[in-house]
Amino acid sequence: ECMEGTREDILSEILDWTNNITAPNILWLKGYPGVGKSTVAATLIEKLRPIGRLGSSFFFKREMADAMTPRALWRRTAHDLGRRYLPIRKHLVALLKADEDILDTTNVHNLFHQLIIYPLTKSDDIPLERLPVVIIDALDECGGLDGQRSAHRASLMKMLGGWSHLPRRFKLVVTSRGESDIENLFSTTSHHLVEILAGKTAKPHSSRDIMAFLAHQFTEITVAYRNSLPLDWPGLDVIGRLTEMAGGLFIWVDVIIKFIKQGDPQRRLECILQRNMSGGFGTLYSSILNISFPSPSDEELESFRAIIGAVILLKSPLPISSLLPLLSIRSSTMKYICNQLQSVMDCQDTLRVHHQSFVDFLVDHAVCPAGFWIDREDGHRHLTHACLKTMNSGLRFNIYGLKSSYIRNSDVQDLPSLVESHISMHLSYSSLFWAGHLAEIASDEVIHGYLLEFMHERFLFWLEVLSLMKRVNLVSSMIKTLVDWLRTYEKDTSMACDMEKFVAAFANVISQSIPHIYLSALPFSPLKSVMRREYMRKYPKTIAIQKGGQESWPTIQKIFTGHSGWVNCVAFSPDGRRVVSGSYDNTVRIWDAETGHEHWVTSVGFSLDGRRVVSGSRDTTARIWGVETGKPVLAYSIHIYSLITHICLRS
């Protein structure tokens, strides 16, 4: 939060806006990195909460881009609004009763309209003094390192524009840098702008706030060193000089205070003043690195890049205890790196960068000193190597220690505890994300060697891990990434392609029972398949087909049985995970979900989000069905002489 007595003018302007129901319903708090936007947002939350005005808050984090998506944002917002506001809760409950699958939709635009726009539009009986304010912090960090190239971020831009069409009493606060796509959004969207300026354009109140913050922090330091430093240290002139050097950037001040507290206060302050660390983050961070790592060895720099590169590029944060074995880093090395970076990083259980500006600095070759620069491709190469090495050494037969071949995964007692006790966090991470890192790198012979071992020795063990983790749904896309990588760099793809076919054929078996990877899937693989040739000899005690059996993988990948009449129309769901069929037996079937028309089904189609099927019939009706429930949602009766022969769905 903001220190008491600081940022009062900005907070006052924002609070006045929240009480003005005729003002635009979006406020954009814009500012250069490090000016304190997130701190203002956190303070605003604490001011709105006790008066019952906080609708919801969501803080995007670049390092958690895979989890902090627009879908997560709107689900969280709907949950908070429903919990805090009865009128909104009534509409959400009614919606969920009518459509229990809405939360699982992949169509985020539909989710936004169903969970946010519709309930708010209908909730006109909320007292004025309790009208909700929703806060979205660090919009520019949505999409992670992909930034403006991220599909998540592009879709969110469109949805945020839709908020402006809500009644003006429903307020939204957005904080961000002034990046081009966000500038474009607000150039065409009605909003109230509050800008925190920096550098030569910084307003006087920003300098006053920074000076007050510095005085408070130096008082804390002199108290801690009361027998060594005079009470008025370092003096108003020095505080004034530091304020001028900060240029309105609170994060600059925060970093140098942490840096001063990290060592000998007087010596560190002298370093800051002598090196003249003003002029932006490049000068500041370069100076801190050079002071913290004087004359670093090549080994130290390599360890720095491995550790900090992982912190920046990991798909999901890992605690230090898991990062050490993943990266094969010594504990003493980790401690040394962390100790030197306390001014810019949180080095508790999980390593986190204090501010995104440090990440921006490290990945920018133009400003970061060469030895400390994080090359993204090299970082992903290091993580790919680490993941494959972890899997090749850690994956093994019957890794969960199952005592019977006759039970389904669903019958395993205390499943979460079993997974946690047998699969380390770094092995779990490696099993889930190796392909994501592989996709980011060019050809590498060492990694190709690790891939060959994984494909020919560890593949089935990997399926065991994902089976009990209930993540078999991820396997096909990961193997496709592998095939694409091998093909791009002209490597043999025969084994990887066969793995892809194996999973497509036996995904149901793999997801239901680990033992049947070996008892059913492998023995029934085609006799000439690469999978069978590689793995059957390793399991001679499994069942054997004495006669018959397929020679090679069939061209037909799946056969769905159940219709008793001709099948005359089929369609894939948008995500390719379902097939819907309509038949002259008067039924519509989605895999194992079946429902019926009163007459022949002549046309079918999926909705764009894959949650609905529309069918047309000779009984002159068009019906909308819930994919998950198999229940009809709506039925339209057409003119009695009409015959529905085609279905077309539009967004």
Percent of the chain with pLDDT over 90: 60
At 141 the pLDDT is 92
Question: Could you tell me which residues come within 8 angstroms of residue 37 by beta carbon, excluding any fewer than 6 positions away?
Answer: 29, 30, 31, 137, 138, 175, 176, 196
Element (H, E) at 313: helix 298-313
| Start and end residues for every CATH 3.40.50.300 domain found in the chain | 8-196
Q: Which long-range contacts (CB under 8 A, 24 or more apart) does 263-266 make?
A: 265/221, 265/225, 265/229, 266/229
Residue range(s) of every CATH 1.10.10 domain in the chain: 298-374
Domain(s) labelled CATH 2.40.10.480 in the chain stretch across: 567-637
Q: What is the average pLDDT score of the chain?
A: 87
Q: Which of 418, 417, 428 is nearest to 398 (CA)?
A: 418
- Under 8 Å between Cβ of 185 and 177: no
- Using the predicted structure, report yes or no on whether residue 31 has a pLDDT greater than 50: yes
Separation of alpha carbons 625 and 597, rounded Å: 11
Rounded mean pLDDT, 175-196 = 93
The pLDDT tens digits of the residues spanning 424-466 come to 999 999 999 999 999 999 999 999 999 999 999 999 999 999 9
- 263 versus 203: the higher-pLDDT residue is 263
Give yes or no for a contact between 447 and 441, defined as CB atoms under 8 angstroms apart.
yes
Q: Which residue has the tokens 């302050």?
A: 269
Cα gap 331→394, rounded to integer Å: 20
Helices (H) and strands (E) in the chain, counts: 26, 15
165 vs 99, which has greater pLDDT?
A: 165
Burial class (CB in 10 A: 0-12, 13-18, 19+), 385: buried
Within a 10 A sphere around the Cβ of 406, how many other Cβ atoms? 11
Q: Which residues, 6+ apart, have CB-to-CB distance to 345 below 8 Å?
A: 311, 338, 351, 352, 353, 354, 358
pLDDT at 1 over 80: no
pLDDT at 596: 34
- The pLDDT of residue 617 is 64
| pLDDT for res 600 | 58
pLDDT, tens only, 565-600: 777 777 766 655 566 777 777 666 654 332 233 445
**pLDDT value of position 577:** 55
What was the pLDDT predicted at 45? 96
pLDDT at res. 593: 30
Query: Are the C-beta atoms of residues 115 and 75 closer than 8 Å to each other?
Result: yes
One of 1.10.10, 2.40.160, 4.10.410, 1.20.120 is the CATH number of 298-374, namely 1.10.10
User: Is residue 560 scored above 70 in pLDDT?
Assistant: no
Q: What is the mean pLDDT of residues 347-354?
A: 89
Once rounded to an integer, what is the mean pLDDT over residues 187-192? 94
pLDDT in tens, 36-61: 899 999 999 999 999 999 999 999 98
Collapsed DSSP state (helix, strand, coil) of residue 395: coil
pLDDT at 605: 73
pLDDT band at residue 145 under the 50/70/90 scheme = confident
> Considering the domain 567-637, what is its CATH architecture?
Beta Barrel (2.40)
Gap between the Cα atoms of 283 and 295, Å rounded: 18
**pLDDT average, residue stretch 546-555:** 78
Q: Considering the entire predicted model, what is its pTM? A: 0.73
How much is the average pLDDT of 290-308?
94
Would the pLDDT of 64 be above 90?
no
Q: How far apart are CA 77 and CA 60, in angstroms?
A: 13
Q: Give the mean model confidence (pLDDT) for residues 92-111.
A: 86
Please check the confidence at residue 251 and state whether its pLDDT lies above 60. Answer: yes
On whether the CB atoms of residues 460 and 522 are closer than 8 A, the answer is: yes
- What's the pLDDT at 69? 92
pLDDT for the residue 592: 32
pLDDT the model gives residue 451: 98
What does CATH list as the number for 8-196? 3.40.50.300
For 39, the token pair is 């701190």
* Residue 643 reports pLDDT greater than 70: no
